[in-house]
Structure formats: structure tokens, C-alpha cells
Structure 1
Amino acid sequence: MKLLWKLGKEAIKYRTLYIIAIFSTFALTLINLTAPKILSSMTALLEDNVNENTLKDIGTLTVILFVLYLLKILFRFLSNYLAHKAAWNLVEELRIRVYNRIQGFSMGFFSDKQTGDLMSRVVNDTATFELLYAHIIPEMITNVVTVVGVVIILLTINAKLALLTFIPIPFILFSGWIFATKVRPKFRVSQMAIAELNAKLQDNFSGVHEIQAFCQESYESEQVLKKAGVFTKSMLYALKLSAIFHPAVEFLSSIGTIIVVGFGGFLAFHGELSISDIVAFLLYLTLFYAPISGLARLLEEMQQAYAGAERVMMILDTPRDIKNAPNAKELTHVQGSITFDSVAFEYEKDVPIVKDIDFSCEPGQMIALVGPTGVGKTTLTQLISRFYDPTNGKILIDGIDIKEVTLESLRSNIAPVLQDTFLFNGTIGENIGYANSAADLDEIVAAAKAARIHDNIMEMPAGYHTKVGERGMRLSGGQKQRIAIARAILRKAPIIILDEATASVDVETEKEIQKAISDLAGSRTIVAIAHRLSTIKNADLILVLENGKVVQKGTHLELLEQEGLYKRLNLAQNNK
């Protein structure tokens, strides 16, 4: 009930459409309840001596019946279309809300999530709301009103026969409860299975190069088959239950018809019931048992919708751990000074990644982070952008705690260049311009020139309109890195973060990237992570990290004069 209440609140903004659809549903039900009565009255007229007045009455009833059937078309259209319109608008809104919710989660949320599963929640699970609001709820309203209306009418025609026809109902309801109990877990499994299948497919399509390179096509095909098999197995079990339940309900429903024909004929023989009343009973029983017979389908759809809705609400109810403080202010006129004050961080409780980090840099300075893999260098840069919050201590930009400013204003003043450069499946120009939607082509070209990539771009057939392919697969590693630097330059942010910007490029490309970085030095605050010490020789401050702590500080020359990790790293690289 709690979930249903939440779902109801989601749909309240479309109440006008739903009110008209529900009114049309009631009108449609009323017509359905009226039509058999008119047909019964026509039968009663034919039972008597047919004369001119009788034919006139039959003609009037025929016209009324014709008008009712025309109105039935109108109300069925309004009922179906408006309910679907409201439901699909709701699905669209929910898809955007779920996407925005996921998009706003911190990086910690994504650490144990699969992309395909999240896609399934946005696309597949939200679609079940259409099932709920356009099919299940309208049908339930129609069915309840129809059943109540038919019960009242049958009791007024002949209470004794009516009560006998109700005998199968408890058995139908009990079997429906058993069916729902058995089928619900299977629909939950099927929703999770389709999400896992999506996740596996997304993973495999992204890694198709590795699959082919290591000849793992057969293995991966088996893995996909297993994921698909879980979904098929759960669905087939649900369908088997349905295949048993449907005929059982139909059999129980047919008992009511047998009672009307058998006992109704007995009552007619004794003069307690007219032929027209038996006809009315049979017509109303069709209306009465139709919704009860459809109980199995409704229950199936309800369990399916419930399973999808649970997964959607789970996302919407997940709290954001990185969000704006209640009184967060805009970070403006940033100069670019950065201070770490006793900063510590851990992804898991009691497993510190970095601890007791203290340093400061002035606007326009370049600060470098070096050390072995896994000592927390990238973590420190992500803390600056508040992709995570420190476990202890605080980070200040221009003397302001970054927790006290809005996320958007903070991140708009920081331009990242990551080791694993991500490019969108668009043109080179679009990827550079992604950092600044207001930039024109001249500004994009200027940024590309500053990043030493303009000449490469102009050698391509379509220049800045060249498609890069998914994740930039049509470009080399060095080209992608320089496009990422151009993107960062175009952002015109006072702080630039370079995470292994030259890690996977050749010597010539490294020189080009170094020139681009040198041109930025002094005008922007640069935080650079580097394994190649040659790229950070001119840094104003180098922090050497080991086991999550800063073990050395200084310039390149100062650190070479000290015995320690930096000197050992420098010797190791120069002796290669």
C-alpha cells in the first residue's frame, strides 16, 4: 500500500486526463449495464401478442440501443486514449526523473553498479507504469463497478437464482490469491534477469575488441545464454501458472451459466421466472464473469508492474550523499588557490585511502602528485571536484570550504583532463565544444590550436566535422588526449586537473602535450598527476605520496637532492 500511495502521488499532476478517462469508464460501464436490460425488455415485448404498438415500442428501444452503442464508441475512445496519454506522459516524466536521479549520484554509487542494469531501470522498469495506469487501474475500476452493478441487478430480478450463481466466486477469488502469491516472485526475478541481460550485453558490446582479441566469443555467447535463460525460465513458470489458472477460472465461471440454465429453467417451469428474465440473467452473467475471468491477466500485469515499480522507486528513494548544503552559495570570481586541511578519505569504513593531507597552492601555480599506483592521487583530484567528500578535514578554494558552495558553481570552475579520455559519439567540434555550449567555431579552433591538435584535425577529411565514433574509437590515444585538453581550455576554468594526460602516448605526442601544458602554466592553477616525471619538472610544488600519505614535498630539483621515493622514481625512469 505504501508503494501504491507513492505511485499515486506521481500521477496526480495528470488528474484532469484521469478524471475524464474515469468518467468515460463509468459511462461505458453504465451503458454495458443498460444494454442487456433493453434487450430483455425487447424479448419481453416479443413474448406477448405482437401488435402495432409493440412494434413501435421495439423500434424506440432499437433507436435507444443504437444511440447507446454509438456513445459506447465515444466513451471507449476517451477512456482508452486519455488513460494511455496520461500514462505515457507519466512514463516520460519518470524516465527523466530516474535518469536525473542516477546522473546526480556520487561516483561511489556507480562503483558497484552495471550500466545495463541502470539503463533497464530507466527504460524497461518505468514502462511498467503505463501498464499500471493505462490498463490495470482503469480495468479494476470498470470491473468493480460492473460486478457491483450486475450483482444489484441480478438480485432485483431474482434473488434466489442470483445467490446460486454467486457460488463459484469464493473459489475464483481463492485461486486468484494463490496464483498471485506464486507468480509475484517470478516477475521480480524476470525484471532483475532482463536488467542483468542488458548489463551483460552493454558490457560485451563495449568490450567486443577484447572478446575477439582473446577468442572468447563462445564463452561470452554462453554467458549471454545463461542470462537470457534465467529470464525465460522465470517467465515460462509464470505462464505455466497462468495456463493452469485461466482454464480453472473459465470452468468455475461456466458453472454459473449452468446454474442459470438449469435452475432458471426449473423456476420458469414453476412460473417464478419469465423467459425474458432468463435472457437478462444470461446477458448479465457474461458481464459478471468477464472481469472475474480476466482476473488472471490483471494479476499477472499487476505483479509485473509492481516488480518494475519497486525498482524505479528504489532509485528515486535512494538519498544523494553528495548534494548542495541548505545555504550553499555560488562560487564566483575564482582566482584558483587550493588548500587541503588535514584531509582524509576512505571508500570503505576503516580502510583509509588518503590521510592527513595538508598543502596549499597559489593561483596560477602548478602542483603535481606523484607516487606508485593506488596511493590515492586520483582520489585527491576527485575530492577537489566533490565527486566524493572527505571523511575528515576540508578542502578550500580561495579560502572557501567547497562544501559551502553549489556543486554546479564549483565544477564550472574546474576543467578535468582524465587519463581515460571519454569522447561522445559526435564530431570533433562537438566534443571540444562540450565544455562550453556558448562557444562558436572560432573559439573551438583557438582551443584546439592551444592544445596542439588543430593541424591533426585539419588533415582529417571532414576537419572539425569528423565523426569520432563511440568513445572516440576512430582517433588515436594522443589525439583523444589533446582533444580533452582543448575541451578543458575552452571551458576557461581557473583550475585544470590533469590526470595522467601523457600516460598512453608516444614521445612526439608527449612533447606536444607538454607544450600545451606549459602554455597554460601561470594563467591557470594546474593539478597534475604524472607517472612520467619529465612532464612535471617545472611544477611549483610536487607532492610525493606513499601509502596514502604525503612523504615528500618540494620542487623537482629540491626533491632530487633528497634521499627518498622521488629520487628512486627518477633514477628508475632515466635508467630505462
Structure 2
Amino acid sequence: MNNEQDKNRQHDIKTLRKTLSDIFALSKPYRIRFYLATAAVLVASAIWLTVPLGLRELLDAVFEAGDSSLLNLLAIGLFGLFILRALFSFAGNYHLEWVGERVITDLRKKLYRHLHRLGFRFYADRRLGEITSRLTNDVGSIRTALTDSLPQMFTITFSLIGSVGLMVVLNWRLSIVIFLTVPLITIATRYFGQKIRSLSRSIQDDLAESTAVAEDALGAIRLVKAFVREEYETGRYSEAVEKLFGTARRKVVLTQLFWSGVGVMFMSTLVIIFWYGGKEVLAGRLTAGDLVAFIIYALNISRSVSQTSRLYAALNTAAGATERIFELLGEVPEIKDAPDARELVDAEGEIRLDAVSFSYEENCPVLKDISFLVGAGETVALVGPSGAGKSTLLNLIPRFYDPQQGTISLDGTDIRNYKVKTLREQISLVPQEVHLFGTSVKENIRYGRLKATDDEVKDAARAANAHEFIMAMPEKYDSLIGEKGVKLSGGQRQRLAIARAILKDPAILLLDEATSSLDSESEAQVQDALERLMKNRTTFVIAHRLSTVQNADRILVMDEGRIVESGTHGELINRDGLYSHLYALQFRDLDEAEGLF
């Protein structure tokens, strides 16, 4: 058991050292400023260490020499020391804080940029609230360590060593009392520090979980209210934060026990110093000034050790956060450019899939040996039962995922040989669930091409049959549409998405159930806009309403990850296969629905 505890302790110390090294490495670009600031803080600490010596001389001047002129001179000197210390302390701490805030800003930017480089598979395995917690809470813990804990570590260490050294010079016998206390505090620090660190990591995990629960519910607030699940979601969040509270409470208990124990030990030590020091003064081996200086150094050591315990707790908290941040930064993007990848400019739009197979999880294939060729400017519809693999196939074209087997080519070149950025610039996606930002109409359309002029934005809106309803809004193109476009109807959101795609002007268009959730009037307007968008572009259309794909140049029928039929609408109807069966079933259901009215 002891061997196991020793191993855990050594592992914790090793991890903490690595954490300090990782945090310190973040400040490398600003090391000159950091070193100068540290030097200024150390000078301020050194000045502070001379203050008790000045007080000793001042007291001895009064009680022993009775020299009022020396008393005045020493008082003025002490005032000067305080001012000088304040100047160095201000300069040092300001620049240390500056370095800390600058490093954290850089870290936030680096982490956020890295999150955008990670692929869909990474996000499929994690909750958004957990990722958000990394970006906010964990980075905040590192900020505390960098701007508060690390600078304090230098000053505390310097002050502790200086105070011990000067105490030994003043009276080595009295110093032994302090030296007997320090090992006890060190043992307590190691014991409690290990447990505090473990709880700190648990707190960060619980905080991430509660954030994820809240974000899940608030992000689906319409669904929550529609199903009257406010109390249920409140209960879920309450349960998560109560768990967080329980862990935090245990940490508080341990932390306060530790600090209280350290306080008792030092106060007891001070009582012994008063008693023994008083005897030394009476015996003539120590002056009153020496005793006061000694007590001040003892208090300084007490304060330093107390701060060390707090510092150790803060660094242990930062250690857990740092592990999680660097773990996230260590995630390798699944989709990345090949070393010799080239730019893709003005794609024609010919797409070829050759023996493509894909699975999200091992031994669970979603696509199986898919092969077909789509000519530039051709419109191809993908139809089939739910779960057939249609949306997955579309996700492979812009390289949201890469197939495990086979190749996908664009204009005769494997798409993995193009730079991902330039490949996706040639492709637009209009999904069933449109995502709009909580900004203005204009900004949402301009997302398709950030440098587009206002006139180009309006032209795209007209082509998408969106200009009329936009002009009817209070602020027209500057109108705010609410989170995820909550102020707009489904048809209006779809038309803004189409306008965004038109503005991007892609060579390849992916339409994933773009009209399935709309009423007949909205569908007619959206369909009209889509026909303009599809003109002269290679287009893939997924639709469950088979009436919307009848005019496609070719229809690919999918079932269980395979293409089981291919042809035009007329050809497939006459084959009496899966497509014919789906078509007959859909229109039978439609006839039955109409018969109810």
C-alpha cells in the first residue's frame, strides 16, 4: 500500500512539474519582459527583507542609544524603502500580469483555431458544452496559475529563503524552533495537495458536464417548451450542479483543514518564539530590536508557507485544466492536407466515386463499394429508405470524412490531392436543418462570400426569392433574425441559406432534404430558387419527396449502403424495383391523406 502511495505521489509530483513546464513554456515569446518583470518583483522582495533590519536599528536607537536624530534618519530611510519597494512591485507585477493575460489570449486563439481544424468525427464523439467548458473554465484556471500563482512562486521562494537566512544570522538557537515546524508543514502539504488536486480535476469534469447539460437544453429550447419539459431539464441541471457542489464542498473541507492546521502550527511556534526570545533578551544574548526583527521574519515565513499551500492548491487545479487543454491540443485533425496538396481553382464539377466504402465505427459499414460517375453540370438525385447512407455519401464529397476504401475524384484528381480549403470553396451545402447566426440578414447571406458588396447580397437574395420578405422586415437587410433564425419561418430560413449558397457561386451543390419540412407554398418558392441555384452546377439532391427529383438527370437508388438502381425517373418506374415501390407507396399515402379532407 505504501509503495502504491509513493508511486502515486511521485506521479503527481512529476505531472505537476510537467504542468509548470508547459505553463511556463507558453510565455516563451515574451520571455524578456517576463524575466525583467520577475527581476523587478525580486528586487521588491529583497527591499522588503531589509525592513525588519531597519526596524531593529530603529528600536535599538530608541531603547539603547536614546539617539533621536538617528531615530529620525532611520524613519525617513524606512519611508524611502517603502516607496522604492512599491515602485518595483508595481512595475514587476504589472508586466507579469501583462504577460499572463497575453499568453492566455494567445492560448484561447490557438485552442479555438485548433477546434476548427478538427473533423466531424471529433465533434460526433463529444458534447458541445464540454468543449465550451475547455475553452472557458479550463483556460481560466491556467490564467489564474500564470498571472497569480507562478509570479507568487518566485517571490515566495525568494522571501522564504531570505527570511530563513537572516533569522539564522540573528539567532541560530531561535531558528531551530522554526526549522522543526517546516517538515511537518511539508508533509501536510504533500498529503493534502494530492487529494486537493484529484478533487480539482473532478470539479473541472463536473463543471464541464453541467455546462453540457445546460447547453443541450438551451440550444433546443423550442423542443423543451413544446414537450413541457422545463421541470425535467431544470432537474437535470440541478442534479449536475449539486454533484459539482458536493465535489467542491469536499475540496473546501480539505483545503480549510489544511490551512487551519498550518495556522495552528505557526501560531504555536510564535508563542514559543515569544517565550524563548524573551528569555534570550533577559539573558543579554538578544536585543529587543533583534527579537522584533526575528518575529517579523517568522511571520514572513508563516505568510510564505501559508501562501505556498494556497499556491500549491491553485497549481494543482491548473494542472488538471492544463492536462485537459493540452490533451485537446494534442488531438490530431482527421482531415488534413497532403504534403503535396495543390490549390483547386475553377472546378468543372465532374465527380467520380470508385469502390468507396465507409464506416463510422469499425465493422459497421455504412457505405459499401459505391461506384458511379457524375458529369459536370449534371443533377443526380439520391433516394432510398432512411439509413441507406445518402447523407453520409454527401459528407464524403467535401471531405467532412474520408472513406476507408476507394477514391473520390473531382475533375479526374483524387480530392485528397487538393487542399481542403480550396476544395470546400467549390462546394455549397443546403441542408434540411439550416443553421443561421443570430446576426443580421445581410451578415447571414454574406457568410457565403465575406467580401461581397451590398448589391451582390441583394442580387443573391432576389435569386433565392428572399428579397421581398426581407424588405418587409423592420430593418430590412439589417434586421436581426434571432438565435438560429428563430424569428423567421422555415421557408424563409431555407431561402436565406439558398441566397448564401448562390453568393458563394460553387461548382458543386449538395442539397440534403432542402424542402422536406416546408409547406406547399414555401416549397414552391424554395424549389424555384433551387432551380436557379442548380443551373450549370453539378448537383446532388437528397429527397424523400420523390416528386421533387423527377426532373433529375439521373436517380441513384440506395439501400443498406449500396446503389441498387440507377436511371431516370421514367426508367426506374418501369423496372418495378425499389424506386417504383417507394414511389407507389408515397403516392398511395398521399391519396389516402387527401381522402380525409
**TM-score normalised by L of structure 2:** 0.93
In the alignment, what sits opposite 2:4?
Answer: none
State the match for 1:439 in structure 2: 452
* 2:224–2:230 Cα contact (<8 Å) kept: yes
Counterpart among 239, 246, 251 of residue 259 in structure 2: 246
Q: Deviations over 1:222-280 (max 9, x none)?
A: 11111110111111111111221122111111232223222222233333222222122
The residue type paired with residue 294 of structure 2 is F
Runs of 4+ in 1 over 6 A off after TM superposition: none
Q: Which has the larger displacement, 93-102 or 352-361?
A: 93-102
Q: Quick check: 1:511 aligned with 2:527?
A: no
Give SS of 1:166's match: helix
User: Residue 370 of structure 2 aligns to which amino acid in structure 1?
Assistant: I
Is 1:196 aligned to residue 209 of structure 2? Answer: yes
Q: 1:213 to 1:510 in 2, by over 3 A?
A: closer
**Residue 82 of structure 2 is aligned to residue 66 of structure 1:** no
Match of 2:227 in 1: 214
Does 118-127 or 202-211 show the bigger shift? 202-211
1:133: Cα distance to partner? 1.3
SS of match in other structure, 1:341:
strand
Kindly report which structure 2 residues correspond to 1:497-576, keeping only aligned pairs within 5 A, or say none: 497-575=510-588, 576=590
What is the rounded CA distance, in whole Å, between the counterparts of 2:495 and 2:464 in structure 1? 6
Q: Give the match for residue 456 of structure 1.
A: 469
Counterpart CA distance in 1 for 2:412 and 2:18 is 46
Residue of 28, 32, 46 corresponding to 2:62 = 46
Cα shift at 1:12: 1.0
SS in structure 1 at match of 2:408: strand
Q: Residue 97 of structure 2 aligns with which residue?
A: 84
Contact 2:509 2:534 in 1 (8 A): no
Residue aligning to 1:99 = 112
SS at 1:323 equivalent: coil
The CA distance in 1 between the partners of 2:381 and 2:133, in whole Å, is 41
Match of 1:417?
A: 430
- Within a 5 Å distance, the mapping from 1:294-305 to structure 2 comes to 294-305=307-318
Is 1:291 aligned to residue 307 of structure 2?
no
Code of the residue aligned with 1:239 in structure 2: it is V
- Matched residue, 2:338: 325
Distance across 1 between alignment mates of 2:517 and 2:345: 35
Q: Residue 48 of structure 2 aligns with which residue? A: 32
* Structure 1 segments unaligned to the other structure (5+ residues): none
| Mapping 1:400-411, distance limit 5 Å | 400-411=413-424
How does 1:129-528 map onto structure 2 within 5 Å? 129-528=142-541
- Contact 1:257/1:282 (CA < 8 Å) preserved in 2? yes
How far has the Cα of 1:31 moved from its partner?
1.0
> How far apart, CA to CA, are the structure 2 residues paired with 1:502 and 1:22?
63
- Deviation at residue 298 of structure 1 after TM alignment: 1.6
CA distance in 1, matches of 2:474, 2:285: 93
Q: Of 13, 23, 47, which residue of structure 1 is paired with 2:29? A: 13
| C-alpha distance in 2 between matches for 1:278 and 1:446 | 86
TM-superposition CA deviations, 1:466-498 (whole Å, max 9, x none):
221111111111111121111111101111111
Tell whether the 8 Å contact from 1:338 to 1:360 is kept in structure 2 after alignment. Answer: yes
Q: Which residue of 1 aligns with 2:8?
A: none
Distance 1:266 1:480 in 2: 87
> What is the SS of the residue equivalent to 1:425?
coil
Q: Is the 8 A contact 1:376 1:548 kept in 2?
A: yes
CA-to-aligned-CA distance 1:542-576 (integer Å, 9 cap, x gap): 11100000001111111112121111111112222
Query: How many Å separate the matches in 1 of 2:523 and 2:54?
Result: 89
- Compared CA separation, residues 459 and 42, structure 1 to 2 (3 A): closer
Q: Is the Cα contact below 8 Å between 2:156 and 2:307 reproduced in 1?
A: no
Instruction: For 1:79 and 1:327, locate their aligned partners in 2 and report how far apart those are by CA, in whole Å.
Output: 48
Rounded to whole Å, the distance in 2 between the matches of 1:48 and 1:506 is 100
Match of 2:593 in 1: none
- Which residue in 2 is equivalent to 1:23? 39
What SS class does the counterpart of residue 276 from structure 1 fall into?
helix
State how far apart, in whole Å, the 1-side matches of 2:488 and 2:331 are.
Answer: 38
Could you tell me how far apart the structure 2 residues matched to 1:56 and 1:453 are?
89
Q: How far apart, CA to CA, are the structure 1 residues paired with 2:580 and 2:204?
A: 56
Please give the alpha-carbon distance, in whole angstroms, between the structure 1 residues aligned to 2:454 and 2:202: 51
Q: Deviations over 1:34-68 (max 9, x none)?
A: 11111111222223342xxx333333322221111
What CA distance in whole angstroms lies between the structure 2 residues aligned with 1:2 and 1:324?
Answer: 32
2:368 match: secondary structure: strand
- C-alpha offsets along residues 397-428 of structure 1, whole Å, 9 cap, x if unaligned? 11111111111101000011011100111122
Checking the alignment, whether the CA contact within 8 Å between 2:56 and 2:292 is kept in structure 1 is yes
Decide which moves more: 100-109 or 291-300.
291-300
SS in 2 for 1:257: helix
Q: Deviations over 1:69-124 (max 9, x none)?
A: 00121122123222222111211111111111112211111112222111111111
CA deviations on 1:140-181 (whole Å, 9 max, x unpaired) are 111111111111111112222212321111111111111112
How far has the Cα of 1:522 moved from its partner? 4.3
Distance 1:516 1:158 in 2: 91
Partner Cα distance (1:49, 1:101) in 2 = 70
Q: How many residues align?
A: 573
CA contact (8 A) 1:87 1:129 kept: no
The alpha-carbon deviation at position 375 of structure 1 amounts to 1.1
Q: Distance in 2 between matches of 1:174 and 1:508?
A: 76
Distance 1:78 1:415 in 2: 53
**Per-residue CA distance 1:430-467 (angstroms, 9 max, x = gap):** 11111001111221122122222222222333322222
Q: Which residue of structure 1 aligns with residue 129 of structure 2?
A: 116
Kept in 2, the 8 Å contact 1:542–1:554? The answer is yes
CA distance in 1, matches of 2:279, 2:436: 81
Matches of 1:567 and 1:198, distance apart in 2: 48
Any conservation in 1 of the 2:434–2:497 contact (CA below 8 Å)?
A: yes
Distance of 2:19 and 2:59 partners within structure 1:
49
Task: Assess if the C-alpha contact under 8 Å between 1:190 and 1:230 holds in 2.
Answer: no
Identify the range of structure 1 (485-494 vs 211-220) with the bigger mean alpha-carbon deviation.
211-220
Secondary structure class of the residue paired with 2:27: helix
Percent sequence identity over aligned pairs: 35
Is 1:365–1:521's contact at 8 Å kept on the other side of the alignment?
Answer: no
CA–CA distance in 1 between the matches of 2:493 and 2:88?
Answer: 59
Q: Give the 3-state SS of the residue equivalent to 1:561 in structure 2.
A: helix
Alignment RMSD, CA only?
Answer: 1.5
